[in-house]
Amino acid sequence: MTPCLLRAGLLTAVADGLFSTVLSVFFYQSTAARLFQGVASTVIGPKAIDGGMTPALLGWAHGVRRLADRRVDRPRMTLS
C-alpha cells in the first residue's frame, strides 16, 4: 500500500469517526461510547450496548477495519 493511499485511508477514518461522533452526541443526545457499542453489537450481539468500554473499543476497531476493507477491496480500473 502506498503512503498516499495510507494517508487517505487514515484521513477518511478520522473524518468518518468525527462526523459520526458529532452526529451522535449533538443531534441524538447520546455518547461516543454508545455509538461504538452499537457498532460492536453487530458483531457480538445486543449485550454490547451495556458492556462498557470494551465493546466500545471493539466497535471502534470494527468500524476502522470495515472502512479499510471497503477502500482496499474495490477492483482497480485498468487502461488498455
pLDDT, residue 74, reads 54
CB 60 within 8 A of CB 36: yes
pLDDT digits (tens, 9 = 90+) for 7-33: 887 788 788 889 999 999 999 999 999
pLDDT, residue 4, reads 82
Q: Nine-digit cell at 46? A: 445486543
Residue type, 9: G
Kindly report the CA angle at 70 between 33 and 45, in degrees rounded to 5?
40
**Can you tell me which residue has the cell 459520526?**
20
pLDDT digits (tens, 9 = 90+) for 40-65: 898 899 999 988 999 998 888 887 77
**Can you tell me which residue has the cell 458492556?**
51
pLDDT, residue 10, reads 79
